[in-house]
Amino acid sequence: MKIEHIAIWCEDLEKMKSFYQTFFNAESNNKYENPKKGFSSYFLSLSKGARIELMKMDSVEILPKNVQKQFTGMAHVAFSLGSVEKVDQLTESLASNGIEIISGPRWTGDRYYESEILDPEGNRVEITA
């Protein structure tokens, strides 16, 4: 069994698509739109087969972002890059492009090497070795 995709409600589909394409080499399908429902989405494919669905619908409530406060539900998505060096390189690239780094790069107590960042809409993203 594997996770096929995760879905993220977005305020700005194009900005989110560009972020995941630029920093995680995601490949996008053509935009799906259902004007009757006010819904649009992209599926972004990653190199090892998992996908991210970015979705926008006019009726979905936009919640205030607060990185210090967490809620029940999905906490983050994690990408494994395969090496400490790649984590360091991507973290540096993200930081130099104005992306907020929450923590790391660092070794965690459970022996993961990781950085944690926020995507353009405040979703937590872990980058692991």
Asked if the structure places residue 92 within a domain, the reply is yes
What pLDDT sits at residue 72?
64
Each residue of 77-107: b (16+ CB within 10 Å) or e?
Answer: bebebeeeeebbebbeebeeeebeeeebbee
* CATH assignment at residue 17: 3.10.180.10
Q: Which domain covers residue 87, as residue numbers?
A: 75-128
Asked if the structure places residue 65 within a domain, the reply is no
**Sheet with 77-80, edge to edge strand ranges:** 77-80, 124-128, 113-118, 101-107
For the chain, give the percent of residues with pLDDT over 90: 80
Residue after which a domain boundary falls, among 58, 85, 105 = 58
Asked if the structure places residue 67 within a domain, the reply is no
Q: How does DSSP classify residue 96?
A: H
Contact between 105 and 113 (Cβ < 8 Å) = yes
pLDDT (average), residues 113-127: 95
4 plus 52 within the same structural domain? yes
Asked if the structure places residue 91 within a domain, the reply is yes
Asked if the structure places residue 70 within a domain, the reply is no
Q: Give the total number of structural domains in the chain.
A: 2
93 plus 48 within the same structural domain? no
pLDDT digits (tens, 9 = 90+) for 89-98: 999 999 999 9
3-state secondary structure of 68: coil
Asked if the structure places residue 66 within a domain, the reply is no
What pLDDT sits at residue 67?
66
Asked if the structure places residue 124 within a domain, the reply is yes
Query: Both tokens of residue 71?
Result: 């809620």
